[in-house]
Chain A
Amino acid sequence: MAPVWLLTTAIFAPLVCGLVSLIVPRRIIGLRVAIALAGPMVAIWLIGSHIATHGTGSIPPAVEWMPTVKLELALNPDKLGLFFALLVACIGLLIVLYARAYFGPDRDSLYRFYPTLLLFMTAMLGVALSDNFMLMLLFWEMTSISSFLLIGWERDDPAAVKKAMQAFVTTAMGGLAMMGGLILLGAHTGQWTYSGLLEQGVHGDGLTTTAFVLIFIGAMAKSAQFPLHFWLPGAMAAPTPVSAYLHSATMVKAGVYLTGRLWPILAAAVPLWPKLIIPIGAITMVYGAYIALRKEDLKQIFAYTTVSQLGLLICMYGLSAYNFVAHHATGSGAEHIGAHGEHGAEGLAAALGQPNLIWDVTQILNHAFYKAPLFILAGAIGHVASRQLPELRGFFWRDRTSRIMTTVLLAAAFALAAFPGTLSFTAKEFFFYQIYHGYEATHSAWFWPLFAAGIATGMFNVAIFTRLFTTLTARPEIHTHVHEAAHGHGNGNGHAHTGHAHAHDGHSHETGLWPAFLWIPGAVIVAFQFICGLVPGAYELLFGWLEPSKYYFEHFPMIPSFSTPPVYMSLACVVLGMGLGLSPVLRKIYADPFDHLYPGFYTGVTKKLGPWAFGLVQRGHAGFYVGAVTLGIFALFAWAVSFHPELIRWPTGAVLEPVGDLLPGYLIVTIVAVATVLMPIVKDRAARVLVLGTAGFSVTAVYYLYQAPDLALTQISIEIVSLILFLLVLSLLPDRKVGKPIYVPIRLLIAAAIGIASFWLTLTSSVGHQPTMPYTTREGVNLANLGEYFLRNSYHSQDTLEVEPEQVYGGVVDRGVAHRTGYGTPGSSHEDAPETRGDPSVTLHKGGGGANVVNVILVDFRGFDTMGEITVLGLAAMGVWTLLRRHPRKGNHQASQPNKSVERNDPSEDPEDDRELVTEGSPT
């Protein structure tokens, strides 16, 4: 299989498995889990086979999809993309198992959960592997949608639905900004793929900077950067498997991933990159860690540490760019990072021998390795006991399960605190070293706050670990005994406590092997932290091949050594953090003030701005609308006149024909005119309908005069139906005489102004003034006369297809076409046919294939418009039907209906006509 199709299959394998699982009956849980497991397994297997055959550098040839919107199936399986895809698939595999344990034998939840989860997996794999911007955007929005569905998992819980909306609106708005940025970047550079852009290189001009800022807003929203971070803690309303998967390990990394993708392209070319990214990342990092310390719900704590870690990752990309530029301030080639390397950062770094590139795979992997277990265990502990930290005092001593869970949780928290012996320690050292390195290179005073931020973040993380440790392993007290007595030991019914509605992960419990999967996935993942942290060379062996740019590694061994300044920073973190964790300060719960940002925004828009704007334009007075429209038309006309002064002169060639020359025209126009003038004068409702009908039928004749047989036919059929409709509806409406007409002079004045204006607009737009701009298409067709294009292409159009004239022009109509276009018989007829001016060789290709040009336009050239028209008709029909069904006549009226007993028609009948009205009978 071609690589691009192989990878596409890998991307869509989870979704297909999810859909297949839907046809499995709900009670067969084992098979369902097996099918759900197959999704990520197939993806891993296919990606693995791709790596085995093609390595990690080759970019498969793209497959064209929708070239007009620059969408193509272009995949970029480089190291970063493959790493991300494998991360998504592997953690997804464990989450599938965990979800089975989490939901227990709850067949309905599992039935609904797996397809949604696997949809997300497909979307995320797509984001990771896409090379084309538009393709990536599609998958990006798919992740937002699946995240929305999963956060609002408890559909009956209004709070959860609200949080889901909050997350969706925030990320989707960021996604919109990002779309704008990507389109700007693509249009500006002419490259719509990362690989293409990397090869071409970019200039750091204003448009590129704007595009970068827009894209970064999207990344900020997705990766929960301050001040858009609030949705991520809110997303904890989701079931814990979702939190562990989407909102810690994978989806929230999409913004980080995007930043990493753009790093080799934009980081050095756009001077704004470090200036924007470093502060935002640093603030997010400290703020998230601080709030995390002051939460009591386990999931909230870990959500805020996730925010913090995402900030660190973003900050790191800024620092690397800063260091890179600082190193190249005097050198050459700093402008185009991407211009040199075949495979982005790696190639460039090799070419320039710079140690200032980043170590992003390690950082992302490190975070996934401790944060996913933290969430998994938070869910597990919530499952058997509670998620509120104060209620978990001495949880460790409860029973065997609690001891295992606490151990795994604390092991992951140990990594969160970045103690030596974990991969996390190395990752943090890299980060500190980047700060130190930047300071060394430039000695900028701006690095002091950054040092402080780094140490503060580390300190808070250590403090969080300390508090978790001391609380969970505290010797049981009286309080705890009471707690245990109330809820029983083990995982039997420990979740009966209902004090915190959302703090519990209460689901039906079961016995057997499955409950162990509440903590096994966490243990498996966290094991990597310690394997990589303790075994020298293990990381390099396992994951080193995925790292696109590993240039800090030479500086850092896997064990601490006191020779480098970052180690002192780590030491400060540990000492300060331990002290803070044991001390009584900062123990009170602190609510994130940004929690009010979205509700405030939402209320502001829907309750204040919306009604205000509505009241501004929707005054409820017909006079206001008519006046506004009239004024608008006049203003537009005046504006047009300022460009084309001839618009206020009587157009040349506009003459009223003598009556004798155009007798039918005058007759018919007179009839329409009389009917029109009678309309406002006639007051009797039946007479009025007849007058309107007269006008309509006479308009049919005008169409006939205008050589429009199709219009005439349509108009006459519609006119008949609408006349019947009117007569029937009229009987349902009152024939009350209108009271004394008010404001007649003003009404007359406005009406006259509108009449004169529309007369003039019709006249000037119809006679004389040809557009002066040279509207031409590639085919050389003058679009100023669009009708000519349709006339020429209705039957066939000119192109490079060589054909025998006889083949094309057989039959009656065909002969006519041959004459019309002059094809095949050059010079034989019609010198005024424009085509004969060009190349006389016979070049034809398929056109609409119909002689009736109006019909061809409707069904062929503008087929989609016609489909829209049919949709409008259908909607109107549904509207009529629904309205009449839902709002029956008022009771007192119905009581007096003589034919009330007439049954309603079959709803399946076409409601467009008036049957619904008829069956209701006549009013009194």
Chain B
Amino acid sequence: MTVLTAILVGLIFACSAYMMLGRELKGVCMGVFLLGHGANLAILASSRSPVGLIPPVLDGSALSRYVDPLPQALILTAIVIGFAVQAFLLTLLVLTWRRQETLELSELAEEQSH
């Protein structure tokens, strides 16, 4: 499962990097959001393969049977903060469009230089 997840992480990072290098803000933002998933999965992968293990809810099993709870706690925080960032970024996007009437990076740069 770990190798599989690592491949997925690589794919997500590659695609989001490609989008972030684009020339339009909407796509860039989408790339950032996608990147969040990739980062979360990368942290999750560090809890090693979950095959044959049980969730970290104590029920009397031996310690070695639980998956590592720490990455999960980290990701839980990351998901929520990621959402806050998402909302804020979208607001900035809307504001940029309202004020500049363009989301093209090249045009925005021109307007800034004026």
Contacts and interface: CB of A to CB of B under 8 A. Distances in A.
Interface of A: 620, 622-623, 626, 630, 654-657, 661-662, 665-666, 669, 672-673, 676-677, 679-680, 685, 688, 692, 695-696, 699, 702-703, 705-711, 714-715, 718, 721-722, 725-726, 729, 732-734, 736, 738-739, 741-743, 747-748, 750-752, 754-763, 765-767, 785-788, 790-792, 794-795, 813, 815-820, 830, 832-834, 851-854, 857-858, 862, 865-866, 869, 872-873, 875-877, 879-880, 883-884, 887, 889-890, 893, 912, 917
Given A786-B70, A869-B81, A767 B2 contact: yes
Nearest to A673: B11
B72 to A, nearest CB: 5
B56 A854 contact: yes
Contacts of A795: 58
B59 to A, nearest CB: 5
A109 B91 CA distance: 44
B4 A729 contact: no
Given A762-B5, A879-B88, 16 more contacts: A655-B3, A656-B4, A657-B3, A702-B5, A706-B1, A722-B86, A732-B97, A733-B94, A739-B23, A741-B22, A743-B21, A766-B5, A790-B70, A830-B62, A853-B57, A883-B95
A387 B92 CA distance: 55
Interface centre among B8, B53, B95 (most CB of A within 10 A): B8
Contact of B58 (A692, A758, A817, A866): A817
A676 B34 contact: yes
Given A676-B12, A879-B91, A917-B94, A858 B21 contact: no
The binding surface of chain B is classed by DSSP as: helix
B38 to A, nearest CB: 7
A620 B111 CA distance: 13
Contact of A880 (B51, B69, B72, B91): B91
Contacts of B31: 679
A711 B82 CA distance: 13
B76 to A, nearest CB: 6
A755 B73 contact: no
A661 to B, nearest CB: 8
Nearest to A718: B83
Contacts of A893: 98
A756 B96 CA distance: 34
12 contacts: A620-B112, A672-B8, A695-B34, A699-B41, A705-B50, A706-B47, A715-B79, A787-B70, A790-B69, A790-B73, A791-B69, A873-B81
B72 A711 contact: yes
Given A677-B11, A688-B30, A734-B103, A820 B2 contact: no
B4 to A, nearest CB: 5
B10 A758 contact: yes
A709 to B, nearest CB: 5
B13 A755 contact: yes
A654 B22 contact: no
A858 B83 contact: no
A105 B21 CA distance: 67
Nearest first, the 5 A-B pairs at minimum CB distance are A755-B14, A759-B10, A816-B60, A787-B68, A876-B84
Interface centre among A623, A662, A666, A762 (most CB of B within 10 A): A762
Nearest to B65: A832
Interface residues of B, number: 91
A763 B2 contact: yes
A767 B92 CA distance: 40
Interface string B85-114: 111101111110111010111000100100
A662 B4 contact: yes
Given A655-B3, A657-B51, A750 B21 contact: yes
Contacts of B61: 816, 819-820
Nearest to B84: A876
B3 to A, nearest CB: 5
A620 B64 CA distance: 49
Given A699-B40, A816-B60, A725 B87 contact: yes
Interface of B: 1-24, 26-28, 30-31, 33-34, 37-38, 40-42, 44-48, 50-51, 53-64, 66-73, 75-77, 79-88, 90-95, 97-99, 101, 103-105, 109, 112
Given A726-B90, A853-B58, A711 B21 contact: no
B51 A733 contact: no
Contact of A738 (B21, B23, B73): B23
A622 B3 contact: no
Contacts of A733: 26, 93-94, 97, 103
Contacts of B8: 669, 672-673, 676, 702
B70 to A, nearest CB: 4
B83 to A, nearest CB: 5
A722 B83 contact: yes
Contacts of A750: 17-18, 21
A19 B60 CA distance: 56
B19 A680 contact: yes
B80 A714 contact: yes
A654 B2 contact: yes
Contacts of A714: 76, 79-80
Contacts of B47: 706, 766, 787
A662 to B, nearest CB: 6
A738 B27 contact: yes
A852 B17 CA distance: 36
Contacts of B51: 657, 661-662
A656 B26 contact: no
Nearest to B2: A766
A699 B44 CA distance: 11
A226 to B, nearest CB: 46
Contacts of A830: 62
Contacts of B53: 707
B57 A729 contact: no
A169 to B, nearest CB: 32
Interface centre among A666, A714, A739 (most CB of B within 10 A): A714
A620 B23 contact: no
Contacts of B63: 788, 791-792, 820, 832-834
Contacts of B4: 656-657, 662, 665-666, 669
A711 B26 CA distance: 27
A754 B14 contact: yes
A643 B79 CA distance: 33
Contacts of B28: 622
A172 to B, nearest CB: 32
A706 B81 contact: no
B37 A751 contact: no
A701 to B, nearest CB: 12
A819 B105 CA distance: 60
A820 B62 contact: yes
A659 to B, nearest CB: 10
A622 B97 contact: no
A677 B12 CA distance: 8
A678 to B, nearest CB: 9
A820 B61 CA distance: 6
Interface centre among A795, A818, A820 (most CB of B within 10 A): A820
B77 A858 contact: yes
A820 B57 CA distance: 11
A703 B44 contact: yes
A655 B7 CA distance: 12
A626 B20 contact: yes
B54 to A, nearest CB: 6
Contact of A857 (B12, B70, B93, B98): B70
Contacts of B59: 813, 816, 851
Contacts of A705: 1, 50
Contacts of B34: 676, 679, 692, 695
A791 B66 contact: yes
